[in-house]
Amino acid sequence: MTGYGSEREAYLKRLRRIEGQVRGLQRMVEEDKYCIDILTQVSAATKALQSFSLELLDEHLATCVVQAAAAGGEEADLKVREASDAIARLVRS
């Protein structure tokens, strides 16, 4: 079971918007747009993905990790380790 189930449609809508931003970047390169304008749009797409990632991580912590912690045992340890690794990847990116 996923923790984002109740927000699935909203997440998909956001991802489609981000996909549109990336397609826009492709179009800008195809049309030889000014480098700084492209970089500005790259920054916007990056921020959108970061925001999405943080929201999804928050959902994961609030649902999957909390449920596993309540159950205890190896599953709890695994979920906490997974979350910690995910946070480390986000911080490095």
pLDDT in tens, 10-58: 999 999 999 999 999 999 999 999 999 999 999 999 999 999 999 999 9
Task: Say what angle helices 8-30 and 35-60 make with each other, to 10 degrees.
Answer: 160
pLDDT in the model for residue 1: 57
Q: What count of residues does the chain have?
A: 93
d(CA 59, CA 36): 35
Give the model's confidence band at 4: pLDDT under 50 very low, under 70 low, under 90 confident, else very high. confident
**Reported pTM:** 0.84
Q: What are the chain's domains?
A: 7-92 (1.20.58.1000)
Q: Give 50's contacts (C-beta < 8 A, 6+ positions apart).
A: 90, 93
Give the model's confidence band at 93: pLDDT under 50 very low, under 70 low, under 90 confident, else very high. confident
